[in-house]
């Protein structure tokens, strides 16, 4: 494995500059420096993302309950995990999370509810436009599906029955977290109550709860160094540099380690102050920000 983008290489070379190590290129990544940097890159990045509520990575999402889709007709070409399926009448889309049989599927990431009896397709569907305006019928957007297309016709099925996919016990609903999820900040409905029916639990990539709706605030993943906030980038650079010192011959010295440790403490303090200023919600005690340190 190796770094795949010019922005990653540029960032790693800044790390190597900090410890006076040799540079790497996108075309040549077999040096001690390149191999050591790649070994530590993903874990260090993911750990820093999860360590703090970074404002530039904070996002919101409305989640839909996981569902069980039961078809009365077996598709001639079976649906697979990861497929996106679409209701022809409703325009609702969902991603298949698990296949329990050729006619039963567990769904995540639905955009709404399928219409009783509508046709479900695993092919591409499009919104119908007339002179640049979406065509509506009975207050619903008209969806076009080319049934004559062999690939779509073979994947078409119909008359779905959709029910909530309940957890094994303890809660009524489960919601799947977004693909870019890194850390959960809050489930919006929780605020101001501690009743048993208004509690939730995270298990893996799912939120288990009795909420009939679920809105989350979360920290999302980032992979492109060009998208890093400046304070985040500085912390990541210093953390990577500290890890690479013992891994790269000729860079280890007590003076250098002490300098980077001091820089890390300073960068952590500045990050806490700036992020606190950007997350000032009157009347709320932000425990996470208060306790963040080195």
The string of pLDDT tens digits covering residues 135-170 is: 887 777 777 766 555 444 444 566 788 899 999 998
**Which residues, listed in sequence order, are joined to residue 107 by a DSSP beta bridge?**
67, 96
Mean pLDDT estimate for the chain: 85
Q: What is the pLDDT of residue 254?
A: 85
Query: Cα(52)–Cα(293) distance, rounded to whole angstroms?
Result: 10
DSSP result, 129-167: EETTEE-EETTEE-EE--TT-HHHHTT-B--EEEEE---
How far is the first Cα of the chain from the last one, in angstroms, to the nearest whole number? 31
Q: Do residues 225 and 235 touch, judged by C-beta distance below 8 A?
A: no
Whether pLDDT at 239 is above 60: yes
Q: Do residues 135 and 128 touch, judged by C-beta distance below 8 A?
A: yes
The residue to which tokens 């002179």 are assigned: 131
Q: What is the pLDDT of residue 150?
A: 46
Q: Do residues 153 and 122 touch, judged by C-beta distance below 8 A?
A: no
């Amino acid at each position: 494995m190796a770094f795949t983008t010019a922005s990653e290489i540029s960032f790693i070379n800044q790390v190597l500059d900090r410890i006076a190590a040799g540079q790497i290129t996108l075309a040549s990544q077999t040096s001690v420096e390149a191999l050591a940097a790649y070994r530590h890159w993903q874990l260090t990045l993911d750990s820093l993302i999860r360590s703090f509520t970074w404002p530039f990575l904070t996002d919101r999402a409305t989640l839909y309950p996981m569902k069980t889709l039961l078809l009365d007709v077996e598709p001639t070409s079976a649906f697979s995990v990861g497929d996106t399926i679409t209701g022809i009448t409703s325009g609702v889309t969902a991603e298949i999370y698990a296949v329990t049989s050729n006619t039963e599927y567990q769904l995540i990431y639905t955009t709404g509810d399928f219409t009783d009896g509508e046709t479900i397709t695993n092919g591409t569907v499009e919104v119908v436009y007339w002179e640049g305006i979406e065509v509506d019928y009975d207050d619903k957007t008209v969806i076009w599906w080319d049934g004559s297309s062999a690939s779509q016709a073979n994947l078409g099925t119909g008359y779905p029955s959709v029910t909530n996919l309940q957890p094994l016990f303890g809660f009524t609903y489960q919601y799947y977290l977004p693909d870019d999820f890194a850390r959960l900040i809050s489930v919006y409905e929780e605020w101001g109550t501690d009743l048993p029916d208004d509690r939730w639990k995270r298990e893996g990539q799912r939120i288990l709860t009795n909420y009939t709706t679920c809105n989350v605030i979360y920290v999302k993943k980032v992979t492109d160094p060009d998208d890093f906030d400046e304070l985040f980038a500085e912390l990541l650079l210093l953390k990577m540099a500290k890890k690479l010192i013992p891994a790269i011959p000729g860079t280890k010295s007590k003076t250098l380690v002490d300098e980077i440790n001091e820089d890390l403490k300073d960068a952590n303090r500045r990050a806490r102050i700036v992020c606190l200023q950007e997350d000032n919600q009157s009347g709320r005690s932000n425990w996470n920000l208060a306790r963040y340190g080195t």
